[in-house]
Amino acid sequence: MTTQARVVVLAGPSGSGKSRLAERLGLPVLRLDDFYKSAGDPTLPTLVDGPDAGLVDWDHPDSWLPDEAVASLAELCRHGRVEVPVYEIARDGRCGWHELTLGGSDLVVAEGIFAPDVVAPLREAGLLAAAYCVRRHPLVTFWLRLQRDLREHRKPPPVLLRRGVALMRDQRRVVAEAVARGCVAVTPSGAVRAVAGLRQPISP
């Protein structure tokens, strides 16, 4: 099957700047966070320990739909357009759909905290251009994430603070796991340079 584009995967800890970086690249962007399951789905995992026990564990890989995300990326790369969900984290659910098109680009960005999950399937399908894991100092990531989550009213402030501290402590593991699954660890500026190289024409 003819492929019109390939995928640049942007992984990284929550708050590391993946979404902002994706916008800087000037490429079509598929937000993997739009493939979260909606609240009320009986298969959603829950936290079992601590003050937030019983709440949905949105940082667990079982909280999203990787097969649907990969299928959407394949549709986009092969046919140039796809209908993708619009997910509102503040409402814990989908609130509509929109059409994503390549617009003539031969690269598309897929970004989200679960991005490492799609690296192997995309590689097997011949659709992977490159995979990067964005890394910053853990304190910088903590502060950027907290600012974003408060601004977007994602969860009550006490929950955001507890979650933020836990994610900060877990950041090294997240980056190491992404690298083990095929991502290259880079700074945001390093990712910009790397993707610019992918877009350069190949000399005859």
Number of domains the chain contains: 1
Written in H, E and C, the secondary structure of 29-55 is EEEHHHHECCCCCCCCCECCCCCCCCC
68 falls in which pLDDT band (50, 70, 90)?
very high
In a domain, 204, yes or no: no
199 falls in which pLDDT band (50, 70, 90)?
confident
The verdict on pTM exceeding 0.75 is yes
Distance CA 202, CA 204 (A): 6
Q: Is a pLDDT exceeding 60 seen at residue 201?
A: no
In a domain, 186, yes or no: yes
Q: Mean pLDDT throughout 175-194?
A: 93
3-state secondary structure of 14: coil
| pLDDT value at residue 85 | 94
In a domain, 105, yes or no: yes
Least confident window among 29-33, 53-57, 74-78, 123-127: 53-57
Q: Is a pLDDT exceeding 60 seen at residue 20?
A: yes
71-112 residue pLDDT tens: 999 999 999 999 999 998 778 888 899 999 999 999 999 999
| pLDDT value at residue 204 | 39
The residue among 80 and 163 whose pLDDT is bigger is 80
Whole-number average pLDDT of the chain: 87
Q: Is a pLDDT exceeding 60 seen at residue 200?
A: no
| pLDDT value at residue 1 | 67
**Of all helices (H) and strands (E), which one includes residue 56?**
none
Q: Which domain holds residue 90?
A: 6-199
Q: Mean pLDDT throughout 149-174?
A: 76
In a domain, 172, yes or no: yes
Q: What is the CATH number of the domain that holds 154?
A: 3.40.50.300
| pLDDT value at residue 110 | 97
In a domain, 1, yes or no: no
Q: Angle, to 10 degrees, between the axis of helix 188-199 and the axis of helix 18-25?
A: 30
In a domain, 191, yes or no: yes
The residue among 144 and 63 whose pLDDT is bigger is 63
